[in-house]
Structure 1
Amino acid sequence: MQLVAQAETHFRAGRIAQAEALLRQAFELDPRNGRACELLAYICGNRQELAACEDWLQKAAALPSCSPEALFYLGRVQLQQGRAREAIGSFGRSLKLAGAYFEGLHELGVAHGALGEHEKALDAFRRAERLNPRSPDLQSNLAGTLAALHRFGDALPHCERALALDPGRVKDWTDRGAALTELGRGGEALESYRRALALAPQDVAAWMNQATTLTLLKRPAEALSCYDQVERLAPQWDYLAGHRLHAAMAVCRWDEWAQQVEQTLARVEAGERAATPFTLMPVPAGPAVLLRSARIYAQDQCPPQPLAVSAAAPRDAARRLRVGYFSSDFRNHPMSQLIARVFECHDRDRYETFGFALGTHPPDAVGARIAAALEHFGNVAARSDAEIAALARAQGIDIAVDLNGFSEGGRPNIFAGRAAPVQVNYLGFPGSMGCDFMDYILADATVIPEDEFGHYAEKVVWLPDSYFPNDDTKAIGSAPGTRADQGLPADAMVFACFNSNHKITPDVFEVWMRLLRAVPGSVLWLLKSNDEAQRALVAEAVRRGVDPQRIVWAGRLPLADHLARHRHADLFLDTFHYNAHTTCCDALWGGVPVLTLAGASFPARVGASLLAAVGLPELVTRSVAAYEGLALELATSPQRLAALRERLQHLRTTAPLFDSGRFARRLESAFDAMWQRHSQGLPPDHIRIAG
């Protein structure tokens, strides 16, 4: 013990070499000298020799005399080396010996958080807070944990407490902005990011979060500026290439577009985190690369959950099949406009329907309609993914339908936690989610041909005609006005496309401009999304020798009025790589023929699916030349175009596409087939539903 005492004197005086020599001598004399092991560990740790540090701490931990401090330090070293589970054991032993103390509880929370065990982390942080509420690190970790649990309203005060204790904390300004964004307070969020970037102009996370908020606020040009800044600071930042490309497409900025697409897809194929799956939808990406992107993203965002379980108990065969629909968009949103009527048509004698609302948007009429159509409905946005999955299991949900996928607002970890024995990817995300916890994807033979089943992680369920739902009661306004009211010529050909600007790509725009040049007096009627896109498209038209006055801009209108103005269009021209989906249905319901090009991926074949289901397959083309040729032929053949419109007026009330009741029966048949396999103990497999 005298050697250890002398060593401690040297250690405190900064004479580390002398201290280490004495401690090693003491250990040689008595390998059970725990204090010598602990001090040698501290010396190695100060030199960042983590392996040696841990070795000495493990020696100390094996002795009955091991101190709580040594066990705490061992946990810190294990955590630093990425072994959080072992660290939890060390912190637990330390707390058992010493009783509750702030540092031990705080680091225990950090370790649980590293494993995604956010409820356990929260418990540890709450206990630590009772001992020392004035730690900015603790307040920051409480905020982060509550945000991970989707309790953003609870997270926000902890961000603000951390900042009150230390206003210079860049991460907390950024986290505060993220919480405000989730709470629908985007303007305040931007101010929070401004504060973060004033402190640290090089902080990439703040720039990325600011871009996300600007995107949600429909300010894509400013979002693109943020991504440009990140590209200068950290060009390999995860998913930056895809986000930047998507933002550029939202403002129709096509500088080096083809090259950027090619580079981004190559990086995805190489296994890089280059683009989220959703950002690749509007580009010419085939199903193989889309699956690759989805797998990368799913592995990154949805880590395995070993505690995930299936339904708590087998279903009583006498009760109805329980189907749960999960979405952040149960509101005035295209998805809800499409599916609300299908919910109303469900057979309540055989199916019990549940709605799990994941959004924080203010109530509106469409949301109220959804809530009335489903037998059980509740907003669970403020609950954690694990809590929502547990709630679904407790309610005995047999089939869980994810209506978001990887689209905005999606929460795939609900399904990673097994909300139901059978889980389905449907409608909100036109592609594979690339994960093993989604059992099925609802599709049809057009959007997913049989020879492409291998490009989907889910098993494919083919619905007859089209997988796409519709509302056959959708009201069309009774006062469409005149063409002049819309800024359109009275007698000339009106080509229309009301797709979002990010779907308009240089290759399709080139065709549209050639059509305008070939058809005298014709105009192109586009949806005005943002000023930057409008200016860019005008400039592109001028560059191609087209008078910009021949592009007419349609402002946003309530749905019934928007449908009514379709009668002023002659032909709807679809985009190539991400077709019109809801907008195609709107055009057909409004009586306008739609011309599409069936492409290489799910989102590029939806137009073909819809046209087949409405009975107009002759408007599906297979090449750019055929698309352009048929558009020109129709534009110069008024009688043929009139005949198409007349046929469509009949088909819209007789064809399968707009028969919500028939679609509901087919959807229910798909659910029955999925459940039958599950109830027989069979794994998911591809299913084809008869017409």
Structure 2
Amino acid sequence: MSMMHNDATAAIALHEAARHLSAGDQEGALQILQQLITQQPLHGEAFAALSDLCSLLRRWELLTNICRQRLQHLPNDTETCCRYAQAELGQRHYLRAVALLEGVVRRAPGHAAAWHELGRVMKRLARLDEALDCFHRAETADPGNRIFQDSLLFTQLFSDACSPEKIAAAHRAWGRNFSPVTWPEALWRDGDRITVGYLSPDFREHSVASFIEPVLHHHNRHRFKIICYQCGPEQDATTKRLCSMVENWRDITDLDDASAYDLIVRDGVTLLVDLAGHTAWNRLPLMALRPAPIQLTWIGYPHSTGLTQIDYRITDTVADPPGLSESLHTEHVVRLPAYFLCYTPPADAPQPAIFSPIQQSGVITFGCFNNLAKITPTLLDCWRSLLDQVPQSRLLIKGEALDDPAAQAELLKRFGLPENRVLACGWTPDRISHLALYNQVDIALDTWPYNGTTTTCEALWMGVPVVTLTGTHHASRVGASLLTSAGLEFCVCQSAEEYVQRAAELAGNLPLLQTLRRNLRAMLSASPLMDGSGFTQKLEKLYCELVSTNSAQ
């Protein structure tokens, strides 16, 4: 009788919590679920619902306490340990999360989700080989899981141990999971506006938004009908701003592929442009259904998608010189006549410092604010050589994982850089404080083989020159494209030796550093990299050429 009473009580409480959630009362739902879990600490559904809500609200300390209490009753319970790891990760306790997840996969080696989460943490800690191994194990344990497949493909781009050919082969193998589809209908009637759809989960404060905004703002509405298809759950002020720039906005986040396909077909989209590739919340399986006669990929992913159903990949002659990378693509490579990116800086960006930091500190400060996972053994060799060549210098590294003192100590020891010459900075609370940190940097160092994109533009906007090292595939040549577009070709290096030498030369040229500090923002504003109108005209010309070419076939 007592068990039946408990079940009935729990059912009522869960129903009430769901009702509060549907009404937007998240705190009310939280209180109900907390009361229920206090009364019935082993109730699985209540624990799952409360954990999900804590994660949604980022109530990490509460989730930590709930997990600890539950583990007192269920020691080493795998699901509880996974939730506990999530709570620790939310508080940026990276090594604690690693210990919990390693315990789970040790006890349950087939736990695919735990392997995947462990891979995500390893990637944040720049333990790339271990991250790739974890993602491989997750995909092996759950072969059909697209999220696991995407993580494995995407993370290969960060590694200097994965050749461009190996990465391309992995993407092609993934793409063969989807059947070829042809478009049987006529494309476009002469005189009609061309309907262009942009598909992205990142119409928000995100790197992609910095490069799609000038295009949405400058599109010719007389010749083009623009539709944005949002496929990610996060919305913010940037979302509202971008939405105001287009006449049609569709949120397809909760639509399955078949329903989204029908919507795009009904909208009469001629060109559908993917802006995500294999990044989070992508809809590549939707692209594989071919809801539009001409399909492209651009901006959001620095590699071929592996899908033959995507016809073209937009790039330029610097990022993808003719003959260099065609064999790495399933898409046809189409090059804009100038450069493939156009940047919009944050409106609230602080002003660059009047003086270069060395003028106050007497020490050159190199800096890297890129994703820590992009810091590879090849790059570390360069940095060690650079610090040797420039004795009066130091290196400022920024990354979220550096907030965790234990993780920071482990990471810096593994990097093998001289501790007394490395400054570590963790999470910054907002974009303004992030950008203001560039006022402590004299020269930014790009990563390799996965170059920075937004980080490079941000550094330039803050008056900081960036030195980049090029490679033989797109991800390793984006820096060259950006710097060439900005008029800083002398910062583009073809070898590791040149990369070190160029950074050292800049460090020894204080008048040039000061000139760049004062003038880079104006240079950038006047460069093709920020010519939104001119760039969009070139992009529209390409769209028209593709429509004409495909209509004639």
TM norm structure 1: 0.62
1:351-399 per-position Cα deviation (integer Å, ceiling 9, x unaligned): 11111112222x4221111101111113221221211111011011111
List aligned pairs for 1:373-388, cutoff 5 A.
373-388=245-260
Query: How many equivalent residue pairs?
Result: 507
Q: CA deviation at 1:228?
A: 2.7
The yes-or-no answer on 1:572 pairing with 2:448 is no
Equivalent in the alignment of 2:213 = 340
Question: How far did 1:194 drift?
Answer: 9.9
Secondary structure at the aligned position of 2:244 is classed as: helix
- Alignment of 1:508 onto 2:379: yes
Equivalent residue for 1:359, pick from 232, 249, 269? 232
Give 1:514 shift: 4.2
The amino acid across from 1:526 in the alignment is I
Offset at residue 509 of structure 1 (A): 3.2
Partner of 2:401: 530
User: Which residue of structure 1 lines up, in the alignment, with residue 489 of structure 2?
Assistant: 617
Summarize the Cα distance change of 1:532–1:311 in structure 2 as closer, same or farther, 3 Å threshold. farther
1:277 equivalent in alignment to 2:148:
no
Determine if the alignment matches structure 1 residue 228 to structure 2 residue 102.
Answer: yes
Who is 1:292 aligned against?
169
Letter paired with 1:637: N
Match of 1:519 in 2: 390
Shift of 1:540: 5.7
Partner of 1:462: 335
Report if aligned partners of 1:343, 1:370 keep a CA contact under 8 Å in 2: yes
Give CA deviations for 1:41-100 in whole Å, capped at 9, x if unaligned: xxxxxxxxxxxxxxxxxxxxxxxxxxxxxxxxxxxxxxxxxxxxxxxxxxxxxxxxxxxx
Relative distance call for 1:176 and 1:467 in structure 2 (3 A) is farther
- Indicate the SS of the match to 2:198: strand
- What is the alpha-carbon distance in structure 2 between the residues aligned to residue 680 and residue 221 of structure 1? 58
Contact kept in structure 1, 2:118 and 2:134, CA below 8 Å: no
Aligned to 1:43: none
**1:178-193 mapped onto 2 (5 Å cutoff):** none
Superposed CA deviations along residues 552-605 of structure 1, whole A, max 9, x for unmatched, are: 526525435544553442110111122111000111122211001112432222
Distance 2:193 2:348 in 1: 33
Q: Call closer, same or farther: CA 1:173–1:462 in 2, change over 3 Å.
A: farther
Q: CA deviation at 1:460?
A: 1.1
Q: CA deviation at 1:335?
A: 1.2
Structure 1 residues 459 and 517, CA gap change in structure 2 (3 angstroms):
same
CA contact (8 A) 1:573 1:595 kept: yes
Please give the per-residue CA displacement for 1:109-151, whole angstroms capped at 9, x wherever unaligned: xxxxxxxxxxxxxxxxxxxxxxxxx9xxxxxxxxxxxxxxxxx
Q: Which moved more, 1:441-450 or 1:453-462?
A: 441-450
Alpha-carbon shift at residue 212 of structure 1 (Å): 7.9
Q: Which amino acid aligns with 1:288?
A: E
Q: Point out where structure 1 has 5 or more consecutive residues left out of the alignment.
A: 1-133, 135-152, 154-159, 682-691
Report the 3-state secondary structure (helix = DSSP H, G, I; strand = E; otherwise coil) of the residue aligned with 2:425.
Answer: strand
Whether the aligned pair in 2 keeps the contact of 1:588 and 1:594 (CA below 8 Å) is: yes
From 537, 542, 550, give the equivalent of 1:670.
542
Query: Cα deviation per residue 1:381-425 (whole Å; 9 max; x = unaligned)?
Result: 122121111101101111111111210111222212222111111
For residue 394 of structure 1, what is the amino acid of its counterpart?
R
Residue 293 of structure 2 corresponds to 421
Give the distance between the partners of 2:516 and 2:96, measured in 1 at CA: 43
**Tell me, what secondary structure is at the counterpart of 1:277?**
helix
CA contact (8 A) 1:326 1:355 kept: yes
One-letter amino acid of the structure 2 residue matched with residue 574 of structure 1: D
Answer whether contact 1:180 1:189 (CA < 8 A) is retained.
no
Shift of 1:427: 1.3
Distance 1:333 1:259, change over 3 A: closer
Shift of 1:184: 7.1
> Using the alignment, how far apart are the partners of 1:331 and 1:319 within structure 2?
31
SS of the aligned residue for 1:530 comes to helix
Letter in 2 for 1:625: E
1 CA distance for matches of 2:93 and 2:202? 20
Paired with 1:475 and 1:626, the residues of 2 have a C-alpha distance of 35
Identify the residue that residue 493 of structure 1 maps to in structure 2.
364
Structure 1 vs Structure 2: percent identity of aligned residues?
A: 26
Answer yes or no: is the 8 Å Cα contact 2:63–2:87 preserved in 1: yes
Farther-moved stretch of structure 1 (220-229 vs 372-381)? 220-229
**Distance verdict in 2 for CA 1:518–1:434, change over 3 Å:** same
**2:298, 2:314 within 8 Å by CA — same for their partners in 1?**
yes
TM-score where L is the length of structure 2: 0.76
Closer/same/farther in 2, CA of residues 391 and 617 from structure 1, 3 Å limit: same
CA contact (8 A) 2:67 2:83 kept: no
Kept in 2: contact 1:184–1:360 (CA 8 A): no
Match of 1:451 in 2: 324
State the distance in 2 between where 1:512 and 1:402 align: 36
**CA–CA distance in 2 between the matches of 1:488 and 1:249?**
36
Alignment of 1:195-344 (within 5 A): 220-221=94-95, 224-225=98-99, 227-229=101-103, 231-233=105-107, 244=118, 247-252=121-126, 254=127, 276-284=152-160, 285-299=162-176, 303-304=178-179, 310=183, 314-344=187-217
Q: Which has the higher contact order (CA 8 A, sep 6+)?
A: 2
* Conserved 8 A contact 1:522-1:550: no
> Is this contact kept in 1: 2:203–2:239, CA < 8 A?
yes
Whole-angstrom CA distance in 2 between matches of 1:640 and 1:323: 44
Give distance in 2, aligned partners of 1:502 and 1:458.
Answer: 27
Task: State the match for 2:533 in structure 1.
Answer: 661
Does 1:433 find its partner at 2:309? no
Aligned equivalents of 1:217 and 1:565: distance in 2?
A: 22
Q: Which runs of 5+ in 2 are unaligned?
A: 1-7, 9-25, 27-32
- After TM superposition, the structure 1 stretch with the greater mean CA deviation from structure 2, 367-376 or 618-627, is 618-627
- Whether the aligned pair in 1 keeps the contact of 2:70 and 2:80 (CA below 8 Å) is no
The residue identity in structure 2 corresponding to 1:519 is V
Q: Is 2:356–2:439's contact at 8 Å kept on the other side of the alignment?
A: no
Letter in 2 for 1:352: K
In structure 2, how many angstroms separate the alpha carbons of the residues matched to 1:321 and 1:612?
32
1:24 aligns to what? Answer: none
Quote the Cα distance in structure 2 between the aligned partners of 1:663 and 1:178.
Answer: 46
RMSD: 4.4
Secondary structure in structure 2 of the residue aligned to 1:248 = helix
Q: Given residue 279 of structure 1, which amino acid in structure 2 is its aligned partner?
A: T
Q: Do 2:277 and 2:300's aligned partners in 1 also have CA atoms closer than 8 Å?
A: yes
Aligned mates of 1:314, 1:186 — CA distance in 2: 50
Distance 1:632 1:504 in 2: 19
Q: 1:241 to 1:370 in 2, by over 3 A?
A: same
State the SS of the aligned residue for 2:295. Answer: strand
Shift, 1:500, TM fit: 1.9
Q: Deviations over 1:307-342 (max 9, x none)?
A: x77487643322211111111111111211232122
Q: CA deviation at 1:623?
A: 2.2
Q: Which residue of 2 aligns with 1:607?
A: 479
Measured in 2, the distance between the counterparts of 1:197 and 1:283 equals: 41
Measure the CA separation in 2 of the matches of 1:211 and 1:287. Answer: 34
Aligned to 2:225, what secondary structure does the other structure show?
Answer: strand
Contact 1:494 1:525 (8 Å CA) reproduced: yes
Task: Give the SS at the match of 1:611.
Answer: helix
Name 1:409's counterpart in structure 2.
Answer: 281
Aligned residue identity for 2:169: R
Structure 2 vs 1, CA of residues 429 and 180 (structure 1 numbering), >3 Å: closer, same or farther? farther
Deviation at 1:548, TM superposition (A): 3.9
